[in-house]
A and B are shown apart, each in its own frame.
Chain A
Amino acid sequence: ENVDPQKTAFLLRKAWTLYSVTPLYRFHRSRLRDYARLLSAFIAAEKQKGLAVEVGVELDIKVAVSSLADLRGSEQDQAAVLVQLSLRSRVSSRNSEDKLVWLGWFCSVYGDDLSENMPEDFTCLPLFLTHGAESYTSMVGSWFQKTFDCCFRRLAISPLNLSWMVAMWTGCQLDRAASAVELVFSVPRLSQPLDISYAIHPEDAKALWDTVQKTPGEITQEEVDVFMDCLYAHFHRHFKIHLSAAKLVKVSTAVASAHCDGIVKILHSQYLSGVLMLLTELAISQIQ
């Protein structure tokens, strides 16, 4: 956990859309400025074609590509790569304060499974997180795909993985008063869609997890199942509804929240590494 909290503060409390990315071919860290220029030109061209419909003021997109040395798990991991898109309004003459419109970053936290036997020319950064308009995401994605012969795919999170996350994050020790642990379920096969939100006091949830987990620092599927079954049983006792028959679509804790469509919000810097490690693992299993 030797990541400088100042540098990574921008990651917190933002909703990130997740993608898995296959290894980048012939990506050179020394050429980041060139890549920014090329991507900028590409975006300008796309806008000319009218593909990114931003009706209104004519605006320049400024692109910055940088390396985040601290954002990695082990020495084997590649350092994260950050792409920032800012709007430079031709109208403003006072100062050139650019408005950040889109953020995207590639990272790998303990992604050894993928990078282990990778040939030299490939850079492994399997997790891609974006924040901003989908139109920009698709332009940036297209450019990277064309330039580095890689493939992006939305990272969906199954209910199984979501329950793993809620169990893991509920168990995290937090100094300050934490927010409730919330599980959101969607009930299938109804004429009108129904969502059930189940909120649990964080101390109660943590107390339950502590009785289930046998070895601190280790979590087994069995322990996650017992934890979830307890929550389901409690709910059934009160409401006579079997949550286990519904689809778990979102989990929310004081550490982080995650949605099955592959959207994640990290709320606590202390566990940033842990969350990214889990997401890296999911991205890698989607690639393989």
Chain B
Amino acid sequence: HLATSLPLPSERDHLRPRIDLIVFMIDIKSKYSLKTVEASLAHVDASFFLGKVCFLVTGVGRVNACSIETNAVCKLGEAYCSPVLFCELELEGIRVVTAQRLLRMLQICAGHIPGVSALSFVSLMRNSDDD
């Protein structure tokens, strides 16, 4: 399911299946996309931040067109304890690999992989500096 921002319209709440993973897409060429994501984060229930949220930064192939500081996005990831993935959608190879990664994450978040849960992402996120 794709949405340009959150919250999702409440009219369809009862028809909506369970949400296992939220991927926030940030276009490195658009400051506006970062602002939209930041505003949408406020509408996400805290329980999602236990491994069911990830940030996907697109357009990283074009360094010369970037309007966002990557540092700012990494800080966002740290603040919300969620992984930040970087990709370039215009390159088919990277697009496919990224899709596979997201699918794998979704399988784990949906509980389809025995022995691994979404909480594993949170513990993998911890910096070795923290210890």
Contact residues in B for A135 (Cβ distance below 8 Å):
none
Interface segment among B27-35, B44-52, B82-90, B112-120: the answer is: B27-35
Number of A residues with CB within 8 Å of any CB on chain B? 16
B66 contacts A by Cβ under 8 Å: yes
Contact residues in A for B32 (Cβ distance below 8 Å):
242, 244-245
Let me know if A245 and B31 touch, CB within 8 A.
yes
Contact residues in B for A188 (Cβ distance below 8 Å):
29
Q: Which of B20-79 contact A (CB under 8 A)?
A: 29-33, 35, 63-69, 71-72
Number of B residues with CB within 8 Å of any CB on chain A? 15
Let me know if A245 and B30 touch, CB within 8 A.
yes
Contact residues in B for A192 (Cβ distance below 8 Å):
none
A260 to B64, CA, bound (A): 8
Let me know if A247 and B29 touch, CB within 8 A.
yes
Contact residues in A for B33 (Cβ distance below 8 Å):
245
Q: Which residue of B lies closest to A188 (CB)?
A: B29
A157 contacts B by Cβ under 8 Å: yes
Contact residues in B for A159 (Cβ distance below 8 Å):
29, 65-67
Contact residues in B for A156 (Cβ distance below 8 Å):
64
A248 to B71, CA, bound (A): 20
Let me know if A158 and B66 touch, CB within 8 A.
yes
A160 contacts B by Cβ under 8 Å: yes
Let me know if A157 and B64 touch, CB within 8 A.
yes
A117 contacts B by Cβ under 8 Å: no
Let me know if A248 and B64 touch, CB within 8 A.
no
Residues on A lying within 8 angstroms of B by beta carbon are 156-160, 163, 188, 221, 228, 232, 242, 244-245, 247-248, 260
| A to B CB contacts below 8 Å, 26 in the list | A156-B64, A158-B63, A158-B64, A158-B67, A159-B65, A159-B66, A160-B68, A160-B69, A163-B67, A188-B29, A221-B69, A221-B71, A221-B72, A228-B31, A232-B31, A242-B32, A244-B30, A244-B67, A245-B30, A245-B31, A245-B32, A245-B33, A247-B65, A247-B67, A248-B67, A260-B64
